[in-house]
Structure 1
Amino acid sequence: MRHLLSTGDLSRDEATLILDTAAELAQVGDRSVKKLPTLRGRTVVNLFYEDSTRTRTSFELAAKRLSADVINFSAKGSSVSKGESLKDTALTLQAMGADAVVIRHSASGAAHRLANWVDGSVLNAGDGTHEHPTQALLDAYTMRDRLGSLEGLRVAVVGDILHSRVARSNVLLLTTLGAHVTLVAPPTLLPVSVNTWPCEVSYDLDEVLPKSDVVMMLRVQAERMRDSFFPSVREYSRNYGLDGERLGRMPAEAIVMHPGPMVRGMEISAEVADSPRCTVTEQVANGVSLRMAVLYLLLGGS
């Protein structure tokens, strides 16, 4: 494995190896000195064309814990804002000898393009509405950690599927790992091609909740919307928001997930967001271990 561009590229064995490696590396986070010398002398570039707090910081922390050198390249204050193309930026990074480039870009397919232009490994940290593979991997890791196994697990992904790269990556990965996924959304927030995805679709959250082991709530991505996809925030919350009452309809052991950032009061109530059954902060912590595992496996740490 040289790049991580899509969860659809991972075999079951490869995905499991990443999760197992992350579990081993998570123990480093419990030590007083959280550093390993594994990637000393390697350079990881964070190339972010879109704003991101969690993902960028998480990749930076992961690389530093493995003793790699990290360069944060934000498009806003760089030559990109002067009109430099992705290809020219890539060639610049190539000339600097980057061993890995972590890219987030608003154009679907940007990570794949980049992989053709650099010799180092490319890690897709989100491309347009296409994929976000490390998010799906950390989600799977969190599910496995909380619930024991992914085989036969029933996962509902709820909300703005249309604009969600997290949803697509999760459907592909979780299916590979033996889970059953149901997407729950209003028809206007489902992609046209959803019938080709390996999952079920429902428009009725209340019907799906009692038979779900995991409910993953997605943020409505207003910044990617140019039209009105639902009548009002209140209407959306009433049909697709997770509140205490709906949480009560879920099986006792079931967990609530969210890739963040959460919009409290819209897709998730404060009561649910702060409940011990919500794994949001765990997902963030697990994200560091998971991204350490991916960097370690791609850059051939010993």
Structure 2
Amino acid sequence: MEHFLSMKNLSEHEIIKLLKRADQVERTKIVSRETPLFVANLFFEPSTRTKMSFTVAERRLGMEVLDFSQESSSVQKGESLYDTAKTLEAIGASILVIRHPMENVLEQLKNGITVPLINAGDGKGEHPTQSMLDLLTIYQEFHRFNGLKVAIIGDIKHSRVARSNAYALQTLGAEVCLSAQESWQDESLPFSYVSMDEAVEMCDVVMLLRIQHERHDSIQSRNSDDYLTSYGLTIERESRMKNHAIILHPAPVNRGVEIDDSLVECERSRIFKQMRNGVAVRMAIISQLLEDRGTHVADNFNKRSAISR
């Protein structure tokens, strides 16, 4: 891999290879190299889980983290994203992790930047590392994708998570369906829409999304109780899920809106497991990208790995 920008660019083999690597990272805790490398985290949008798990992943790999702050950077003086990225590359960053409100912005950067780029979320485009940790959670639960039925439910139109997961799950052989109120459906995605009640009864994985208010063209007011009743995962709907079915959510969770508060940490929920998996997935992606460039971040990884790649 040269960069990690989109789930559409990954083959089934590449996704499974990364999932196996991440699973091994989680089980064996790989050891970092002694000579530090520098990684720059450029976050132009707010983030808790993504930014913090990248930071933990990078430090576990023994990397020095360059923590970019838009507010105190030359972006305030009119510097372009490209020139900011080129500056960090020039001063020694070996990899750039970028979250930005514009879709496809990393695609525009990749031809001029020589170090690997990781997409940490681009507007309404994609969020491929979030998708990978979602996939790892499903993989650990079912040990397969082929034949699984997965419902992605909520604000599909404005969700980069929905887009990345739908593409990846299709690549891996899962049957994907979507569920959303009509104004939040995205007809550009080639997947069928079903009702919330159909989704919970037929699927092995129920993936909920928060309402992306910050990406809406206008403020849409809706009583949270009304939304939960009409489109959310209520206790009654959860009772109709398959016995083995699990609940996912990329977070942040709006308790009592897209999911009943009592279900966030129920027996079916894998929401906090997803968060834990975020560190292993991002360690795997970073180490794989650099290894493909001839730099072994974790020298002991291959020796300790019990998984055939």
- Mark yes or no: TM-score above 0.5: yes
1:37 Cα deviation after fit? 2.0
Give the Cα separation in 2 of the matches to 1:39 and 1:117: 30
1:36 Cα deviation after fit? 1.5
- Helix, strand or coil at the partner of 2:252: coil
- Helix, strand or coil at the partner of 1:20: helix
Residue 224 of structure 2 is aligned with which of 206, 230, 233?
233
Q: Indicate conservation of the 8 Å contact 2:86/2:113, yes or no.
A: yes
- Helix, strand or coil at the partner of 2:247: strand
The equivalent residue for 2:97 is 102
Q: What amino acid is the match of 1:8?
A: K
User: Is the alpha carbon distance of 1:38 and 1:187 closer, same or farther for their aligned partners in structure 2, counting shifts above 3 Å?
Assistant: farther
- Helix, strand or coil at the partner of 1:162: helix
Q: Indicate conservation of the 8 Å contact 2:201/2:242, yes or no.
A: yes
Query: 2:115 aligned with 1:120, yes or no?
Result: yes
Query: 2:192 aligned with 1:200, yes or no?
Result: yes
Q: What amino acid is the match of 1:189?
A: W
Give the Cα separation in 2 of the matches to 1:180 and 1:147: 14
For structure 1, list consecutive stretches of 5 or more residues without a partner in the other structure.
30-34
The equivalent residue for 1:32 is none
Could you report, residue by residue, the CA deviation over 1:175-217 in whole angstroms, capped at 9, with x for unpaired residues? Answer: 11111111100110012423xx3x2222x10122111100000
Query: 2:180 aligned with 1:188, yes or no?
Result: no
Query: 2:60 aligned with 1:68, yes or no?
Result: no
Q: Indicate conservation of the 8 Å contact 1:40/1:66, yes or no.
A: no
TM-score by length of 1: 0.93
Number of residue equivalences: 293
1:7 Cα deviation after fit? 0.5
Residue 172 of structure 2 is aligned with which of 173, 177, 192?
177
For structure 2, list consecutive stretches of 5 or more residues without a partner in the other structure.
300-309
Could you report, residue by residue, the CA deviation over 1:35-57 in whole angstroms, capped at 9, with x for unpaired residues? Answer: 61248432111010001011011
Bigger relative contact order (CA 8 A; separation at least 6): 2
Q: Indicate conservation of the 8 Å contact 2:178/2:193, yes or no.
A: yes
Q: What amino acid is the match of 1:269?
A: D
Q: What amino acid is the match of 2:248?
A: M
Give the Cα separation in 2 of the matches to 1:106 and 1:39: 35
User: Is the alpha carbon distance of 1:39 and 1:276 closer, same or farther for their aligned partners in structure 2, counting shifts above 3 Å?
Assistant: farther
The equivalent residue for 1:289 is 280
Give the Cα separation in 2 of the matches to 1:91 and 1:24: 33
1:63 Cα deviation after fit? 1.1
Matches within 5 A, 1:1-302: 1-29=1-29, 36-38=31-33, 40-194=35-189, 197=190, 199-202=191-194, 204-228=195-219, 232-300=223-291, 301=296, 302=299
- Helix, strand or coil at the partner of 1:183: strand
Q: Indicate conservation of the 8 Å contact 1:63/1:70, yes or no.
A: yes
**Alignment RMSD, CA only?**
1.5
1:69 Cα deviation after fit? 1.4
User: Is the alpha carbon distance of 1:217 and 1:174 closer, same or farther for their aligned partners in structure 2, counting shifts above 3 Å?
Assistant: same
1:229 Cα deviation after fit? 5.2
Give the Cα separation in 2 of the matches to 1:254 and 1:43: 41
Give the Cα separation in 1 of the matches to 2:167 and 2:224: 29
Q: What amino acid is the match of 2:62?
A: S
TM-score by length of 2: 0.91
1:28 Cα deviation after fit? 3.7
Q: Indicate conservation of the 8 Å contact 1:48/1:103, yes or no.
A: yes
Give the Cα separation in 2 of the matches to 1:253 and 1:299: 38
The equivalent residue for 2:305 is none
Give the Cα separation in 1 of the matches to 2:70 and 2:186: 29
Could you report, residue by residue, the CA deviation over 1:101-126 in whole angstroms, capped at 9, with x for unpaired residues? Answer: 00000000112122222110000000
